[in-house]
Structure 1
Amino acid sequence: MQAYLDLKSVLSCLPRISKCAAVLALCGTAHAFAASALPTVTAGKLTIGADLTYPPYDYMEGAAPAGFDPAFMTKLAGHLKLQPGFVDTRFANLILGVNASRFDVIASALYVTPERARQIDFVPYLKTGGSLLALSHSGFAPKKPEDLCGKRVSSIKGASWIPKLNDVSKQDCIPAGRGAIDVREFETSPEAAQAVLAHAVDAQFEDSAVAQMTVNKLAGRVTITSTTQLYPVVIGLGVKKGNDALLGQLKSAFASMKQAGEYQALLKQYNVGEPTDDDIARALGAASN
């Protein structure tokens, strides 16, 4: 008799169980739909603009994108339930590309500056700085930007430190009669390094992590001459202004990566740091007002 009553109780619950299951299924479908319905260039895909000539952040390894940004964005896209796809774009054209909706987000070691923050929205995710490189045993070992007065300096085109070097040139070098800093811009970092090797320039200004990789790759033919990080900066993902839905989802996915420990593992692997709130506020400057 007791067994009959238990069975009867179970049977009486089935309609409610089925209803709950249906609701749960509907919620799961709604979540999947919300992810796939994000305002992306291609439905179900996160299209990422990156300059894939910039190791260790962004480069090609065989036929596949590699480096910090591709690893980071692949995990981020997974949390969004979107398929990641990379568009190789030279650095100077990244902001133009995202604003023209050629891709959804920039992930390419893009420094956060007030000027750029007036053009795009940022999701800050890294902190780094700059270094100076020169030929080993050349006798020229600049430690700081002021040491570049009267010298030729190579840089990747469109880099955020170029206006700063021009300011040093105008405010320090020329008034002191030491000659202007002659900044020469190149499409890629390897081309800027090649200019040093070819004696076409006296030094190269480069991101610190990239500079260390350049030294390793060139087997000591160039050396890092600066002793501290120059112009410490925050790096951010870039999103077209007005695309608030995608911006919010990227921030949520980033928080999920932190909670899962995935972000911290990448920081350790690539020897880079996480920016503080104060770092981010300083980087945004007047654009945060």
Structure 2
Amino acid sequence: MPRAVALTLALTLVASAHAADGTLQPEHLIIGSDLTYPPYTYLAEGKPAGFDPEFMALLGQQLKLTPQFHDTRFANLVMGVNARRFDVVASALYVTPERAAQVDFVPYLKSGASLMVRADDNFRPQRPEDLCGKRVGSIKGGSWIPKLMALSKSYCQANGQAPIDSREFPTSPEAAQALLAKAVDVQFEDAAVAAITAEKLKGRITLSSQTLIYPVVIGLAVRKGNDVLLKQLDQGLAAMKASGDYQTLLSRYNLGEPSPSDVAQALGQGPQAVSQ
């Protein structure tokens, strides 16, 4: 056998072995995450920090894999995992029927959204219906944006009000800066992110909504067809629950565990399913 052919065959066998393991590299779990989104994922002293890095460190221990984070902007995460740039997405990715058509999910969190406004503004929206005619800032690719646009037509314009002016920003902090600069009237944000943003900005921004808007399920995402890794992640999560580590971490971040009915609704399979 020619040397070049033998080398090609060897590399093919190695690649196949890696694929059989479900990960791109042996003994590693390469994770796509937008590290600009505290408290879920962010950089602290140059290292990944927040709920997802802590969660993935515990999951990696269960799977005997070393987590390796790739900082990737939110709008590119699904494309990246499908292009095999990383094994899994762990970045507060909401489970939706549209995304479930592109990736497979391991649901592991339940959250929701809040509305943020400037503290010196009298505008205090409570519901999405209060946003007619307003400039609404969001992180680019936020899954609530299509829902807001649908509401703008079905509610605002249908009732003779001005449409919602949706404005997207590459990161959540940039959306918050736009709010402070009066470039938008309100920021639509994940509830946990909104709380920590308001705390960091020391009273300059406040949460106007009192209840969770569009309650959502958050999931790890893997490329469709990577059933080996999907099974490993499911088993690792079950082991974390059995050890108590999962519940401890959820409590520390004030997050919840999604029920089977929550997951079914998020996937568009429940009796009251909605698209987030």
TM over 0.5, shorter chain:
yes
For residue 249 of structure 1, what is the aligned residue in structure 2? 232
Q: Deviation digits for residues 187-216 of structure 1, max 9, x if unmatched?
A: 000000000000000000000000000100
For residue 229 of structure 1, what is the aligned residue in structure 2? 212
Residues 36 and 43 of structure 1 are in contact (CA less than 8 Å); yes or no, is this contact kept in structure 2?
A: no
2:62 is aligned, of 79, 86, 98, to 79
- Write the distance in 2 (CA, Å) between the matches of 1:126 and 1:35: 29
Corresponding residue SS for 1:175: helix
For residue 97 of structure 1, what is the aligned residue in structure 2? 80
For residue 138 of structure 1, what is the aligned residue in structure 2? 121
2:162 is aligned, of 179, 197, 200, to 179
Is 1:260 aligned to residue 243 of structure 2? yes
Residues 89 and 220 of structure 2 are in contact (CA less than 8 Å); yes or no, is this contact kept in structure 1?
A: yes
Corresponding residue SS for 1:285: coil
Structure 1 or 2: larger helix share? 1
Shift of 1:41: 1.1
Q: Residue type matched to 1:147 in 2?
A: D
Residues 18 and 25 of structure 2 are in contact (CA less than 8 Å); yes or no, is this contact kept in structure 1?
A: no
Residues 88 and 222 of structure 2 are in contact (CA less than 8 Å); yes or no, is this contact kept in structure 1?
A: yes
Shift of 1:250: 0.5
Shift of 1:39: 2.1
- Write the distance in 2 (CA, Å) between the matches of 1:72 and 1:185: 28
Shift of 1:43: 1.4
Shift of 1:127: 0.2
1:68 is aligned, of 30, 45, 51, to 51
Residues 18 and 26 of structure 2 are in contact (CA less than 8 Å); yes or no, is this contact kept in structure 1?
A: no
- Write the distance in 2 (CA, Å) between the matches of 1:188 and 1:162: 15
Q: Deviation digits for residues 35-55 of structure 1, max 9, x if unmatched?
A: 996121111100000000000
The answer for unaligned runs of 5 or more in structure 1 is 1-33
2:31 is aligned, of 40, 43, 48, to 48
- Write the distance in 2 (CA, Å) between the matches of 1:121 and 1:75: 21
Q: Residue type matched to 2:49 in 1?
A: A
For residue 4 of structure 2, what is the aligned residue in structure 1? none
- Write the distance in 2 (CA, Å) between the matches of 1:35 and 1:173: 52
Distance 1:116 1:51, change over 3 A: same
Residues 35 and 81 of structure 1 are in contact (CA less than 8 Å); yes or no, is this contact kept in structure 2?
A: no
Residues 54 and 210 of structure 1 are in contact (CA less than 8 Å); yes or no, is this contact kept in structure 2?
A: yes
How is 1:1-289 mapped onto 2 (pairs within 5 angstroms)? 38-286=21-269
Q: Residue type matched to 2:257 in 1?
A: E
Q: TM-score w.r.t. structure 1 length?
A: 0.86
Shift of 1:87: 0.3
- Write the distance in 2 (CA, Å) between the matches of 1:74 and 1:36: 22
Shift of 1:137: 2.7
Deviating beyond 3 angstroms after TM superposition, the runs of 4 or more aligned structure 1 residues are 34-37
Identity of aligned residues (%): 62
- Write the distance in 1 (CA, Å) between the matches of 2:214 and 2:158: 22
For residue 10 of structure 2, what is the aligned residue in structure 1? none
Q: CA RMSD in A?
A: 1.5
- Write the distance in 1 (CA, Å) between the matches of 2:18 and 2:59: 12
- Write the distance in 2 (CA, Å) between the matches of 1:39 and 1:169: 42
Residues 129 and 156 of structure 2 are in contact (CA less than 8 Å); yes or no, is this contact kept in structure 1?
A: yes
Corresponding residue SS for 1:174: helix
Q: Deviation digits for residues 233-268 of structure 1, max 9, x if unmatched?
A: 000000000000000010001101111111011001
Q: Residue type matched to 2:29 in 1?
A: L
Q: Residue type matched to 2:97 in 1?
A: P
Residues 91 and 157 of structure 1 are in contact (CA less than 8 Å); yes or no, is this contact kept in structure 2?
A: yes
- Write the distance in 2 (CA, Å) between the matches of 1:129 and 1:286: 19
